[in-house]
Each structure stands twice: as structure tokens, then as C-alpha cells.
Amino acid sequence: MSAPSVAAPLLHLRDLAKTYHTGEVEVKAVRGVTLEIQRGEFVAIMGASGSGKSTLMNMLGCLDQATGGAYLLDGDDVAKLDRRQLAVLRNRKLGFVFQSFNLLARTTAIENVELPLLYTMPLTSAKERRRRAVEALERVGLGNRLDYHPSRLSGGQQQRIAIARALVSQPELVLADEPTGNLDTRTSIDIMGLFQELNESGITIVMVTHELDIATYCKRVIVMRDGRVISDNVNADRRLAAEALATLDGAEKEANVA
């Protein structure tokens, strides 16, 4: 047997930068970010509006290219990959979750979740697409809503569908940009509980939030300001969503009795 190789970090950013040029104006959205994220981490990226969080996330998700520095995803320098290789990488390794869910309205839950499997190489059969979509929806607790259209579901349920869609290709990394931004407090904690479960099962999660409350459910908190990382800390007081929900429910019951 060969000696175990030293695993590369899942994400490795070296002086990563992004400058937007719009007409005469130059916006330095990300100004040199260096960091590593290992497999199994659950990272919150925080910072005021305009601090570069979404720009950074778009680069992490290979949706947008850096204008400086390097980004290695699982050891691969993404700048050296062509469009097709990037598409394959995105499809195999990454799942995306957005603030506004981004579901197709005229399409059922299961059809929404099957969607990413239409673009796999090699192709995934219709039967296999369905099997995996059902499995993903069951995993997020919506096995009984397969044929519902998003409009008939609550915001929290819609976000669960979006998470199932992110999971259906069995990604190693889930990137979520303000996934609780459109949800009430209880539903937000509920969604954080789902992310904590996924993280426990081995999926690496990087999510943007501007709510400190939400970041307390993550294992590591990175704060950005003006395109730079200004702090990066392990969250020693990480809260468990399941416990927070139980406390909330207890408080509600007491209020009802009173």
C-alpha cells in the first residue's frame, strides 16, 4: 500500500481578486483574499452589504472568473480549465442555494429537483433521475410533496426544494448565498438545522449571511469588509439548531398557557 497522500484543502484561495470594469468606473469588489477551507467545514461569510461576499461566492462556485490571484478547487486551478471542464466540475462537485430559491414556478417539486440531472455526462436515465430526486426530497423532509408546485408551498418548504436540487448531484460542497434572507426566524433556524445535518453527513458548506444569529450555527465565521477578510475565527460557541428550536417551542407553549 502506498503512503496516504496529504489531502489538499477542498478550497484554496491565494490573493484572489475581482475588479469589475463598467465603463469608466472600476470597482474592486474583492481585493486579495487568501484562505483555505478543508473538507467537512461549515463556514459563514459575513459582512455589510457591498463588502464582496457574493462576488467571492460566485468565484468559489466557478460562476465568475477572478481577475487576480488563484483559486484551487480540490487541487485544480480553475483558471486553467476550459468552459466544458468548468461545467463538469460545477455539476459534479458543487450545489448552489440562493436567497430567492430560484425555483421554476410552473414545475413541480420533483421536476425542479431533477433539473440538474438533465445535464450530466454521461446522461442520467429518466428513471434514475426520478429515483435520485425522490431521495433528495426525502432527505429534506419533503417526500410527501413531490408533485406540488412551489406556489403551494411555504417559503421554508421552497428553500428545502432548492436544497434538494443542490443535493441531487451529490456534491461535496454546497454554496449558499443568504439562504435564510427571505425566511422568518423560526424557519431560518429550521433551515440551519437541515444544513447542520448535511454537514454532519460530510458535506462541506460555505454560506453567506449578514445575520450574526444565523452565523452562530456555523463552525467558522469569516468577516469581510471592503473586499478583504478582516477576521476568520472558529466558532467555539456553535449553537445546534435542534436545541434552539426546542427552546423556541417551549417558550411558545409557555406563552400560550399564560
Residues that bind Mg ion (CB under 5 A): 54
Stretch that binds ligand ADP, among 5-13, 46-54, 78-86, 122-130 (CB under 6 A): 46-54
Q: Is residue 132 part of the contact set for ligand ADP (CB under 6 A)?
A: no
Using CB under 6 A as the binding rule, the residues of this chain from 55 to 84 that contact ligand ADP are 55
Nearer to ligand ADP, 22 or 201 (CB): 22
CB < 8 Å & 24+ apart, contacts of 241-248: 241/189, 241/190, 241/192, 241/193, 241/196, 241/217, 242/193, 242/196, 244/189, 244/217, 245/186, 245/189, 245/190, 245/193, 248/186, 248/189
The residue within the footprint of ligand ADP, chosen from 10, 12, 37, 52 (CB under 6 A), is 52
Find the helix packing angle between 155-167 and 126-139, rounded to 10°: 130
Stretch that binds ligand ADP, among 50-58, 89-97, 104-112, 231-239 (CB under 6 A): 50-58
Stretch that binds ligand ADP, among 2-10, 22-30, 36-44, 231-239 (CB under 6 A): 22-30
222 binds, among ligand ADP, Mg ion, none (CB under 5 to 8 A by kind): none
Minimum CB distance to ligand ADP, residue 49 (Å): 4
Stretch that binds ligand ADP, among 42-50, 84-92, 135-143, 192-200 (CB under 6 A): 42-50
Q: Is 233 exposed, middle or buried (0-12, 13-18, 19+ CB in 10 A)?
A: exposed
Q: Is 14 exposed, middle or buried (0-12, 13-18, 19+ CB in 10 A)?
A: middle
134: amino acid identity, one letter = V
Binding site residues, ligand ADP, CB under 6 A: 20, 22, 27, 29, 47, 49-55
